[in-house]
Structure 1
Amino acid sequence: MTFNEDMQIDSSQSNSTGGRGRGPKIALGGGVGGLLILVVTLLLGGDPGALLGTDSSSSSDNGSTSDPTCQTGADANRDVGCRMLFTRDSLNAIWAVELPKQTGTKYVKPQVELFSGAVNTGCGQATSEVGPFYCPADSVAYIDTSFFDVLVTQFGSSGGPLAQEYVLAHEIGHHIQNLLGDIGRAQDDPRGPQSGAVRTELQADCYAGIWAHFADTMNAPGKDKPFLKKLTNEDINAALSAASAVGDDRIQKAATGRVNPEKWTHGASNQRQAWFLSGYKTGDVAACNTYDARDLNNP
């Protein structure tokens, strides 16, 4: 998936979070977010808190729209950091229309902060080991773009822009859950194949699919074309590959040689793919009701 080259970055997006303090102070991982915290660390008996609250030095780029190297869709097609910021703009444009239309809830823009090494957040300080994640306390999605290489080299995802864009769309899916008041369900029931945590992550996958449903058809604000060019089957397969790569079953098998569903926090590979496709095919928030689903394998 590529951006239309003449698209302009949203210069109105400020650095204030707007939604600060709305949600709980636990960071939620996503497509790959919180991977080590919520899967490998738990599976191996470690302390997830060791990756938060560290005293490591931090370096961040808050995605300021004043960056002269990140202004057009052509910039997003050549640079992964710009791609994240334009994906943010596309997500904001779509959810600003669809969330109130489908749910009656006003959309409040989140922030996207690019960082390297470590970063201070409303949920505590985090290192790059956490992977991309969303913090409900400050309504910010934190992305270290170097993880996209890890997604390919260590977790077997295919490359491709939509694999990267899916990750951010998933994290903004957690922001939608925050706005709708659902995000706390992950904390209430944190582990297991039918847990609230798994259902929360699968719903964020579904919300990422909703974004993909509209991304190449809904015109950008004030424009006569969408942010993104027409999706191809290759694009969708890239997103599905990323979703599959970070399924609990696949990660557990690689880490220990066996699968233990009772420790799942994100859902199986086939479930993550299925819920992304549910959102992508329907564009309907109601199709993402993982909490009431009897069979998480078949949305």
Structure 2
Amino acid sequence: MRFNPKARLDTSRVNDAGSGGGGGGLGGGGGMRLPIPTGKGGIGGIVVLVVIFLIAKALGVDLGLGGDGGSTASAYSPARLGDAQQGSDRYAGCKTGADAQDNPDCARVAVENSLTDYWDSELGGKFHPEEAVVTFSGSVNTGCGGATSDVGPFYCPSDETIYLDTTFFRDVYEGQLGGKDAPFVEAYVLAHEYGHHISNLLGFMTEASRRGQQGPQSGSVRLELQADCYAGLWANHATSTEDASGEKLLLGLTDQDIAEALDAAKTVGDDYIQKRSGGRVDEEGWTHGSSAQRQKWFNIGYEKGDLDACDTFSVDRV
């Protein structure tokens, strides 16, 4: 992934909440955990915030979305970070694409800028994000409740923001799941989480709540695979995205970048994680989809480059 050194970065939608303590519980009184092996041989978990949203919808719990849960792009009105969460100037030095090439924090900003520009164009100018990504350490307060580093990257539909403790990639993705230390992995994860926001705007989260939360053809799995497809869709168009002055943000993606995304999709597949944790493959417990499903739908988005191709709810089987 090559960033354009002439591109100017916009840090206004990427914030760092610093280091937090405590954290409390997440969202609507319940959730579902994706089992992963811990370094001590036990079972840890990544809270699936989107599934919390689905369960809350099914139970009639109000998560503060208002209206129909964000079924149209024009309904987007995210919460800003409160004063107590304006934790650091982590991204103050991220000015240009050259910074993004040399600094992973600035690369995160550049990927967010690219995602925002692409989806703003794709959704016909109705997409005007204010807050997109919040990084943190230890714990963070969100519109879905308090979260700790154990959660992993997640999208909160209540405040329409992506939360990320960047130690996840070292400690969980690489250390526990055995994933590869590769530059494009975080870009894939950010694009996937951004995809959840698009599903939220377009009303697919409400549709998913009608399809069940577990199983290879469930609403939860279809929602996750749609986010993978949206990640591939962005990758297809990434080199056409621009900064505010019209400079290209990315000069190129390589075959290696796409291979890294596909390897990441494999590593976070339900069957892969079940095997990694020492258990048997139980399809009825899936909430994210198998490695093959996740790779398939990323490829659909990447190869077709068309939003409609990512409608995982209109096909009989995903």
TM-score by length of 1: 0.79
- Aligned residue for 2:95? 71
- Does structure 2 retain, via aligned residues, the 8 Å contact 1:62–1:113? no
- Does structure 2 retain, via aligned residues, the 8 Å contact 1:160–1:238? yes
Q: 1:231 to 1:46 in 2, by over 3 A?
A: closer
Alpha-carbon distance between aligned partners in 2 of 1:142 and 1:97, rounded to the nearest angstrom: 24
Alpha-carbon distance between aligned partners in 2 of 1:275 and 1:63, rounded to the nearest angstrom: 37
Deviation at 1:223, TM superposition (A): 2.3
Deviation at 1:77, TM superposition (A): 2.2
Q: Note if 1:199 corresponds to 2:217.
A: no
Q: 1:266 to 1:63 in 2, by over 3 A?
A: farther
1:39-58 equivalent positions in 2, closer than 5 A: 39-40=34-35
Deviation at 1:108, TM superposition (A): 3.2
When the two chains are superposed, the root-mean-square deviation of aligned CA atoms in Å is: 3.0
Equivalent residues, number = 265
Alpha-carbon distance between aligned partners in 1 of 2:269 and 2:28, rounded to the nearest angstrom: 21
1:260-275 equivalent positions in 2, closer than 5 A: 260-275=282-297
Q: 1:255 to 1:186 in 2, by over 3 A?
A: farther
3-state SS of 2:133 partner: strand
Deviation at 1:274, TM superposition (A): 0.8
Q: Note if 1:146 corresponds to 2:167.
A: yes
3-state SS of 2:259 partner: helix
Higher helix share: 1
Q: Note if 1:115 corresponds to 2:139.
A: no
- Aligned residue for 2:315? 293
Q: Note if 1:87 corresponds to 2:90.
A: no
- Does structure 1 retain, via aligned residues, the 8 Å contact 2:155–2:161? yes
- Does structure 1 retain, via aligned residues, the 8 Å contact 2:225–2:293? yes
Deviation at 1:13, TM superposition (A): 4.3
Q: Note if 1:6 corresponds to 2:28.
A: no
TM-score by length of 2: 0.75
Alpha-carbon distance between aligned partners in 2 of 1:125 and 1:260, rounded to the nearest angstrom: 30
Q: 1:63 to 1:190 in 2, by over 3 A?
A: farther
Q: Give the residue type in structure 2 aligned to 1:242.
A: A
3-state SS of 1:292 partner: coil
- Does structure 2 retain, via aligned residues, the 8 Å contact 1:60–1:116? no
1:139-288 equivalent positions in 2, closer than 5 A: 139-149=160-170, 150-188=172-210, 189-224=212-247, 226-288=248-310
Q: 1:45 to 1:237 in 2, by over 3 A?
A: closer
- Does structure 1 retain, via aligned residues, the 8 Å contact 2:143–2:159? yes
Deviation at 1:63, TM superposition (A): 8.1
Alpha-carbon distance between aligned partners in 2 of 1:209 and 1:63, rounded to the nearest angstrom: 32
Deviation at 1:190, TM superposition (A): 0.9
Deviation at 1:178, TM superposition (A): 1.2
Q: Note if 1:127 corresponds to 2:122.
A: no
- Aligned residue for 2:73? none
Alpha-carbon distance between aligned partners in 2 of 1:138 and 1:99, rounded to the nearest angstrom: 20
Q: Give the residue type in structure 1 aligned to 2:99.
A: D
Percent identity (aligned): 47
Alpha-carbon distance between aligned partners in 2 of 1:90 and 1:47, rounded to the nearest angstrom: 27
Moved over 4 A (4+): 11-15, 44-49, 59-64
- Does structure 2 retain, via aligned residues, the 8 Å contact 1:63–1:113? no
Alpha-carbon distance between aligned partners in 1 of 2:150 and 2:14, rounded to the nearest angstrom: 28
Alpha-carbon distance between aligned partners in 1 of 2:265 and 2:222, rounded to the nearest angstrom: 15
Q: Give the residue type in structure 1 aligned to 2:260.
A: A
Q: 1:62 to 1:283 in 2, by over 3 A?
A: farther
Gap runs ≥5 in structure 1? 16-24, 28-33, 53-58
Alpha-carbon distance between aligned partners in 2 of 1:11 and 1:202, rounded to the nearest angstrom: 29
Question: For residues 188-237 of structure 1, what are the alpha-carbon distances to aligned partners after superposition, in whole Å with 9 as ceiling and x for unaligned?
Answer: 4111111000000000000011110111134434224x211211110100
- Aligned residue for 1:137? 158
- Does structure 2 retain, via aligned residues, the 8 Å contact 1:248–1:267? yes
Gap runs ≥5 in structure 2? 16-26, 37-42, 53-83
Alpha-carbon distance between aligned partners in 2 of 1:235 and 1:14, rounded to the nearest angstrom: 23
3-state SS of 2:146 partner: strand
3-state SS of 1:229 partner: strand
Q: 1:8 to 1:39 in 2, by over 3 A?
A: same
Deviation at 1:6, TM superposition (A): 2.4
Q: 1:84 to 1:218 in 2, by over 3 A?
A: closer
